[in-house]
A and B are shown apart, each in its own frame.
Chain A
Amino acid sequence: MNNDLNPALFYFLAAVMLLSALAIVYCRNLVYSALFMVVCFLSIAGLYAMISADFLAAVQIMVYAGTIVILIVLCIMITRRTTMERTNMPEKKYILRASVLAGLLFFLLAYIFVNSEVLPTTNNIIALSGDTVSGLADLLLGHYMLAFEIAAVLLLAAMIGAVVLAKGADEK
């Protein structure tokens, strides 16, 4: 686990991430967008791995690149249509307003991040005694135990809600 970022690798991953993110938005075919999403998520996982967040990288690959994308592709499959052409058309009406707002937000945040002196540097990285997984487990089952338990309730509530809405009114 080394903390120094390899600049070449970082720029490569960042470029892949940005390009695939653009491709998600600009692909006219929804299936291609979903597949580009895998690329985007994998490069984010690569970035996580570079800052020694190995558990986060694994979760990113398993949950996002694996499950979420498969879920999206399945949803496309069950909402049947004759052709996949032109299924992900850009909304022309709002494009100017949206790009101005997004650009403004980008420059403001970029300004803040570049000028900020409190971002994690080498001297305020929290040292872990063991690996990241056991460190996380200590926090989740110790200090943040209550939040962890509530998360379980949250999942149950979400599941009950989803089942009710998915069963719908038709079935007996």
Chain B
Amino acid sequence: MNLYVIYPEITVLVLALALIIIDLLLPSEETRRPLGYITILVLSILAISLFWQYHLTISAYFYQGLFYYDNYAIFFKQLFLLAVILTVLFSLQYIDTMKYSSEFYSMILFALTGMMILASANDFLTFFIGLELMTISFYALSGFGLTNKKSSEAAIKYLIIGSLSTAVTLYGISLIYGTAHSFDFAVVCKNPEFFSALGIAGMMMITAGIFFKMSIIPFHMWAPDTYEGAPVPVTGLLAMGSKAAAIAVFMRILFEAFFPAADYFMPVLAVFSAICMIGGNIAAMKQKNIKRMLAYSSIAQAGYMMVGICAASPQGLKGVLFYAFLYVLANTGAFAVVTVVALEKKGTDYEQFTALSQSAPVLAMVMSVSLLSMAGIPPTAGFAGKLYLFMAVVEHGYLWLAFVGFIMSMLSVYYYLKVVRVMYTGKSDGSTITISGAVRAAVLISMTATVVFGVWPQYLSMLTDFAAITFLR
């Protein structure tokens, strides 16, 4: 048993429990802002400390081959930590307006623990429990806007559809266990009986369950309503963390447990990916609410990331990791702006964004850069990410998929620029939005990183290469 392997999870968990206890000790009229600062500080130290954990030697296990601690898992843990740190940073003010702010922080940390477990899970039991820890925290988090009816609607919809997908996943796991007589990914793929009708049914069910979490069309019906109703920071985390965690574990399951069948998966995944890119982008065009628009755009982004999975090569995986990273950065920028606007103007429709360039020039600029990065316009990181993804998949022979992705990226510019147009035209009502230092820090970090990784992707590219190559040997 190797306790050292789970130190990131233990740190996050201890922090979550400490926050609950500190909340009890603090007088109830005190502000809960310090809890946010503690969270950011501890998580930042943890994220930086993980840089020293990348290794060239054989990766460590927690216990008998369960809970793998390889570069791939470490990369994703850093990604989740970054997403949570930036989310907490830009939503300190938003969380202050909530009734149960310290519980909100600890629920976010519980969800983070679940995501980190998913990145490392190397058997179906740990995978399932990690998935549940993440999604159950998110069910509660989406209902945290207690005075808002839409928030309750979001939580209930997510709970019911999420439970359904959990049940499907669990049934699939039981079928896999019935054929392969093991939970361990490494053992499952070696069992010759695994590639039978029963095993295939199990694989399909597990895949469908994960697709729910990734909100791949046609398993996306919960996403727009949940994204719209949930508190903005939670929407941001759902779009960044939850989706990236599902992709992380899906790639591990696909390339480790389902490895004998992986080649047969690729054409199916290519079709799903194309549907996602087409459907997500077209549906995003006619949305009137920015949060709903971002929900559909995140469906399309999941489609782009699936393109990289279809390539089934270290280059493809590297593309997915790279894209996931800058997708987090772009989304932080966008959701930070949406959070501030939701707080100041009490709404997230297009009207609330009118003439944002006059009331808050910084926010309008960050929003534009983030959206351009999502669309993949050259100076931003989104271009580099899409380049890696499409290059990898063309090398694998899916020229049509890269073509669909390219056309859809072009189309997506339309609705991203629609937001920019709304922000930079229209008449201002003369009000100015004051931006707190924390929000300013978060949006500037995300914008700088988006531009820097766009013109100079070398170091991030090296890191993702390293994580991908040691994973798919």
Which B residues touch A119, using CB under 8 A?
178, 198
Which B residues touch A74, using CB under 8 A?
none
Q: A118-B178, A146-B6, A147-B129 are in contact. Are A160 and B106 (CB under 8 A)?
A: yes
Chain B interface size, as a band, is: 35 or more
**Scoring B residues 5 to 31 as 1 if CB is less than 8 Å from chain A, else 0, what string do you get?**
010000001000000100000000000
Closest CB of chain B to A151's CB: distance in Å?
A: 6
**Scoring B residues 185 to 210 as 1 if CB is less than 8 Å from chain A, else 0, what string do you get?**
00000000100111101000000000
Of A34-42, A50-58, A127-135, A162-170, the one contacting chain B is: A162-170
Contact among A112, A160, A168 for B103, CB-based, below 8 A: A160
Closest CB of chain B to A136's CB: distance in Å?
A: 13
Give the distance in Å from the alpha carbon of A3 to the alpha carbon of B132 in the complex: 34
Contact among B63, B113, B140, B147 for A169, CB-based, below 8 A: B147
Give the distance in Å from the alpha carbon of A108 to the alpha carbon of B201 in the complex: 9
A11: interface (CB < 8 Å): no
Q: Which 8 A-B pairs have the closest CB atoms?
A: A161-B140, A169-B146, A157-B110, A118-B193, A147-B125, A112-B197, A116-B198, A154-B133
B469: interface (CB < 8 Å): no
Q: Is A154 touching B126 in the complex (CB atoms < 8 A)?
A: no
Q: Which residue of B lies closest to A163 (CB)?
A: B103
Q: Is B146 touching A146 in the complex (CB atoms < 8 A)?
A: no
Give the distance in Å from the alpha carbon of A167 to the alpha carbon of B132 in the complex: 23
Q: Which residue of B lies closest to A160 (CB)?
A: B103
Closest CB of chain B to A117's CB: distance in Å?
A: 7
A5: interface (CB < 8 Å): no
**Scoring B residues 77 to 113 as 1 if CB is less than 8 Å from chain A, else 0, what string do you get?**
0000000000000000000000110010011001001
Interface size on A, residues (CB 8 A): 33
Q: A112-B201, A157-B133 are in contact. Are A118 and B126 (CB under 8 A)?
A: no
Which B residues touch A120, using CB under 8 A?
178
A99: interface (CB < 8 Å): no
Q: Is A118 touching B137 in the complex (CB atoms < 8 A)?
A: no
Q: Is B133 touching A153 in the complex (CB atoms < 8 A)?
A: yes
Closest CB of chain A to B336's CB: distance in Å?
A: 25
Q: Is A146 touching B137 in the complex (CB atoms < 8 A)?
A: no
- Between A108, A151, A160, the greatest number of chain B beta carbons within 10 A of the residue's beta carbon is seen for A160
B71: interface (CB < 8 Å): no
Q: A153-B110, A168-B146, A169-B146 are in contact. Are A144 and B140 (CB under 8 A)?
A: no
27 examples of A-B residue contacts, CB within 8 angstroms: A108-B201, A109-B201, A111-B197, A126-B181, A143-B63, A144-B183, A145-B63, A146-B6, A146-B62, A146-B66, A146-B67, A146-B126, A147-B66, A150-B117, A153-B113, A154-B132, A154-B133, A157-B107, A157-B137, A157-B140, A160-B106, A160-B107, A161-B141, A162-B140, A164-B107, A165-B143, A167-B100
